[in-house]
Structure 1
Amino acid sequence: MSTSSIPEEVVRRHSRREARARAFSDLQATRARLAAGTSLKPEFEYELLTMFARNELGASVTMPALYALFAIACMFWAPPAEAIIWLITVITAKVVLLDQCRRFLTIPQSKVNVRLWRRRLILLELLSGLALACFALVGVRETLQAPTEMVFSSHVFIFATLIVVLAIRTMFAATIPAILYAGTVPMTIAVVFRLLLLGNVFYLALATMAIGIHLYFLFLSRGMRATTLSMLEYRTEKDALIAELEEQKSVSDEARRRAEAANMAKSRFLATMSHELRTPLNAILGFSEVMKEEMFGAMNNPQYREYAGNIHESGTHLLHLINEILDLTRIESGRYELHEAPLRLTDITDECHRLLKLRADGKGIEVIEETDPDLPLVWADLKALRQVCLNLMSNALKFTPKGGRIILSVGAMPDGGQFLSVRDNGPGIPADEIPKVLQAFGQGTLAHQTAEGGAGLGLAIVQNLMELHGGALNLQSELRKGTDATVILPGYRVLQAMVPLQPLGQETHRLKGIARTRPARLRPGHPGAGGTAAVG
């Protein structure tokens, strides 16, 4: 198998594995639904039964009290004995139902047989519904022989009782249609039968209304059931999404941990190998320099002297690369310590200009300094900022063609900070390649064609060193117009002169030639905080 076909094969294998997992999950869900005897998911069926049981237990006191009120009311047209017998019957059926609901909630979900418990609760609700239906038969004979006003009031009360029962049972059992039917149909049939016994058009209309109201509450229960099922589905999807997010988070945490461990291992390896390479490299540089300078006698063959010079130049380049790798690994591992002191950015640009002047003159490049000598001191690491300036100038010298121009600028920022800028009129960098060149070992395509050799570490080191100072590197470039690399130091690193404590001429102690300064807006705990610096 070719190397290019491996990723495609891995993707196909992963998709087949996911398809098999989904098919197995669907098969398990289908088997569970068939075993439960319902089209719903078993967990949904369990949730619906749980809602019903909790609703019943929540009204364990109010419902018997309501039945007691019904019994007291029916004593106005029925014998008290019948009313008490009905009350005892309906409360007994309700107590049995509540006891089973309490037992259902105490059993762990994993041990619940949903199909068995659904049948049990349906039967118990049917018994409770039949007991409620007996309320319509209490005092039937006495009502038929009572005065017309008593007949009217008693049957209107029974009709109202039916509406109350339908409303309560719809709220409690709307999510399970079978339980709702078992608890309400017997009561409706009994009330309709009693109203039809009177043989009056008015009571016939009440009977028709009772059936219509029952159908209306059944319609409402369908909507409530659909809403509840949607809520359960959304909750299940939310739980699944949360579980997936937790799983992905654990995978990403593990991947990050491995990446950090690999990065640390890489840094340790580069640091170790760099140290190991520097020892023989120093010997190569020393001996090649002795041979190139012919310190122990002239070489008869001039080509040997040229070879020695090439060896020395290559060794110097390799040593520079090793030093850059060491600096980068120290910064990334957090072992680069800043030795901060008051300094001027203009002094750094002057020094770097002198160091690279011969190289610039060799290419015929004009270096122009645009600096403000009156800028205040900054609190920073001299070695780090010198390396920043040298790296930026070296890059500019690499990319600027012969006869070009480089401008070194140092100035103040609007927020109180200071900047150091290196601008050239070289070939420039494409906008889409700027993020690449800022990475370690990153180089643009145009750089390979026009610039001298390099490892692509200069800008990465500059960016890291400026982050250690709380600053930033801003790289702007345009093709065929040049590049502008600007490093910015924040305002809290700029030192401002202290105002005189007394008016001039009235000081107790006069310090001639020395201006006392203090750090301005330094962060608490900063090495420069709490002290003063002398401005020369």
Structure 2
Amino acid sequence: MAQEADHPSGADGPHGADGRARARIDAALDERRRSFLRMVSHELRTPLNSILGFSEILTSELYGPLGTPQYKEYAEIIHGSGQKLLKLVNQVLEIARLEGNTIDFDVGPESLDAALDDVLMALNTELETRSVRVNVTDRGQLPAVTADGRGLRSVLTQLIHNAIVFSPEGGEVTVTAEPHGGDVDIVIRDHGDGIDPDDLGRLMAPFEQGENALTRKGEGAGLGLPIADLTCTAMGGRLRLTSAPGQGMTATARLAAAR
């Protein structure tokens, strides 16, 4: 004779009443997080876009000269400050989405060559300002990876920008893509001052500005590397940093090779 289960009908369990209730609660919380982030994004970006737009009009003297030269200088300062603030807002919202798992990644085959072309074009101003060269080994013949297109570009942007900032003026950043079993290691090396290996873990924490040359050297809130790390993880990969004083830093983003 078949034995009856000890728990009553409709009992707890991952597929029971409690499990379904938990799933509904989680879904509701997830939607509330998404709604909150949409609201914050709109309420912060809308006035910032106005500040940027009107300061551009003043700087270009679109409707006539401003008069006293200082006014144009002040408008340029307002515009530059607005750009920095907008970048910070975007990064904070990105961290919140990644930590709250509210970003829906569409993972599939992605061309590393195409992604790097887009990223290097976007970073052209920074490259020219610091006279830094980016040397991509085997450019045009890089392997494809399994990733979200936007997420891949975000990782590459954060890591290459970080390498540019901490490279010596006139220096070089190298980018290689190395097969590793069923994965691809995207390796980005700079030749800056480097950092003590014991401090590397702290650089993955949001807003971390450790007491060392690497984090004191440039502006920013310390969000680039955490964004790259969380994005790699969300796409099924991982990010690893290696460095030593006087030997620059190497960031290795490992993603699955395209199937």
TM-score, length of structure 2 as denominator length: 0.80
| Structure 1 SS opposite 2:161 | helix
Partner of 2:248: 482
Give the Cα–Cα distance (whole angstroms) in 2 for the partners of residues 310 and 271 of structure 1: 29
Shift of 1:451: 2.0
**1:369, distance to aligned residue in structure 2 (A):** 1.2
The one-letter code matched in structure 2 to 1:350 is D
Q: Does the CA contact (< 8 Å) of 1:292 and 1:308 recur in 2?
A: yes
Task: Give the conservation status (yes or no) of the 8 Å contact 2:34–2:102.
Answer: no
Contact 2:110 2:147 in 1 (8 A): yes
User: After the TM superposition, which residues 56-455 of structure 1 pair with which residues of structure 2 at under 5 Å, given as runs?
Assistant: 272-371=39-138, 373-413=140-180, 415-447=181-213, 450-455=216-221
Question: How far apart are residue 342 of structure 1 and its match?
Answer: 2.5
Q: Which amino acid aligns with 1:481?
A: Q
- 1:273 Cα shift? 4.3
Q: Residues of 2 paired with 1:293 and 1:394: CA distance? A: 29
Gaps of 5+ in 2: 1-31
Whichever residue aligns with residue 419 of structure 1, its letter is D
Contact 1:474 1:485 in 2 (8 A): yes
Q: Secondary structure at the match of 2:91?
A: helix
User: Which portions of structure 1, spanning 4 or more consecutive aligned residues, are displaced by more than 4 angstroms?
Assistant: 265-274, 447-450
From 430, 436, 459, the equivalent of 2:225 is 459
Distance 1:375 1:416, change over 3 A: farther
Would you say the 8 A contact 1:430–1:477 is kept in 2? yes
- Residues 454/302 of structure 1: CA separation in 2 closer, same or farther (3 Å cut): same
Contact conserved, 1:371 with 1:408, CA < 8 A, in 2?
Answer: no
Q: Displacement, 1:356?
A: 1.4
Kindly tell me: are residues 419 and 346 of structure 1, through their superposed partners in 2, closer, same or farther at Cα, counting changes over 3 Å?
Answer: farther
Q: Which amino acid aligns with 1:455?
A: A
1:432 partner amino acid: D
Q: Counterpart of 2:258? A: 494
Higher relative contact order (CA 8 A, sep 6+): 2
Distance 1:376 1:482, change over 3 A: closer
Displacement after TM superposition at 1:275 (Å): 3.6
Instruction: Say whether the 8 Å CA contact 1:375–1:412 is kept in structure 2.
Output: no
Residue in 2 aligned with 1:81?
none
Q: Within 1, Cα distance between the matches of 2:209 and 2:33?
A: 21
Report if the CA contact (8 A) 1:472-1:489 is conserved.
yes
Q: Does 1:472 align with 2:250?
A: no
CA distance in 2 between partners of 1:281 and 1:462 (Å): 25
Structure with greater strand share of residues: 2
Alpha carbons of structure 1 residues 376 and 423: separation in structure 2 relative to 1, 3 Å: closer
TM-score, with normalisation over the residues of structure 1?
A: 0.40
- Kept after mapping to 1: 8 A contact 2:33/2:100: no
**Distance in 1 between the 2:112 and 2:124 partners?**
18
Q: Secondary structure at 1:323's aligned position in 2?
A: helix
Identify, as 1 or 2, the structure richer in helix.
1
Unaligned runs of 5+ in 1: 1-264, 496-536
